[in-house]
Amino acid sequence: MRAREFRGETFVDSTVAALPNEAALVIRAVAEPAAFAALYDHYFPRVYNYIRYRVREAEAADDITAHVFEVAWNKLSRYRQERAPFAVWLLAIARNAVNDHFRAANRHRWLSLDALWDHASSEPQPEQAAIHSQERADLLAALARLSDRERDLLAMKFAAGLTNRHIAKLARLSESNVGVILYRAVKRLQAELRARE
């Protein structure tokens, strides 16, 4: 697994394909707990990245990720491959867990802008650090102006690495609608960031 950076945070590379023997592995994992470990190892980066993209607190992201795999393990016998690929099913559980987290915390915002100020900058020169900090603040401010749905779809696309088809299944939208929403959201972000320059 390779690490990559996004908005100053380190994420695990989540661009992974389905396991070649996934259907058989899921069936085997229902009876053999050790078989679930292969599914966990394979999908952990994708699930963690999605959650970390939506939940900025590392400890909360860790807890939610653990909860997602616990729920997946407990509901594994209910998974049906004909309904959706395993990755989509797992991301649906993750999406619900993140939404539950926000409901439980009674939060009405997607991301705390104050959280950025707690992180020390890795930039060597003060003026570069100030520019980088302003760019992040501008990006977060632009993201905050998007709707919850737009932010959720962006998280599924860029943090979880899902295709538009899989996002459409999770969000119960048409694939073309997902593409349009993502395109418009990215264009709005670009326009806002250009306007701030």
Q: Give per-residue pLDDT as tens, 100-151.
A: 998 887 644 555 555 555 555 554 566 776 777 777 788 788 888 888 899 8
Q: Would 116 be classed as within a structural domain? A: no
- What count of other Cβ atoms lies within 10 Å of the Cβ of residue 9? 13
Angle at 153 between CA 184 and CA 112, to 5 degrees: 100
The predicted structure's pLDDT at residue 14:
43
The predicted structure's pLDDT at residue 81:
83
Span 10-18, mean pLDDT? 48
Q: Would 19 be classed as within a structural domain? A: yes
- What count of other Cβ atoms lies within 10 Å of the Cβ of residue 180? 13
- Tokens for 122, please give them: 């890795």
User: When comparing pLDDT for 43 and 134, which is higher?
Assistant: 43
Q: Would 188 be classed as within a structural domain? A: yes
Domain count, the chain: 1
Name 12's bridge partners: 3
Q: Would 10 be classed as within a structural domain? A: yes
Span 64-92, mean pLDDT? 91
Give the DSSP letter of residue 146: S
Can you point out the beta strands (E) in 15-104?
Answer: none
Q: Would 92 be classed as within a structural domain? A: yes
Residue pointed to by tokens 């439980």: 104
Which CATH number belongs to the domain containing residue 189 in this structure? 1.10.1740.10
User: What is the four-CA torsion angle of 35, 36, 38, 42, rounded to 10 degrees?
Assistant: 160
Distance CA 62, CA 84 (A): 25
The predicted structure's pLDDT at residue 70:
94
- Helix and strand totals (H; E) in the chain: 9, 2
pTM of the model: 0.60
The predicted structure's pLDDT at residue 111:
53
Q: Are 39 and 86 in contact (CB under 8 A)?
A: yes
Domain that holds residue 72: 3-111+125-196
Q: Would 52 be classed as within a structural domain? A: yes
pLDDT band at 159 (very low <50, low <70, confident <90, very high): confident
Q: Would 117 be classed as within a structural domain? A: no
Q: Would 120 be classed as within a structural domain? A: no
> Is pLDDT at 84 greater than 90 in this prediction?
no
pLDDT band at 5 (very low <50, low <70, confident <90, very high): very low
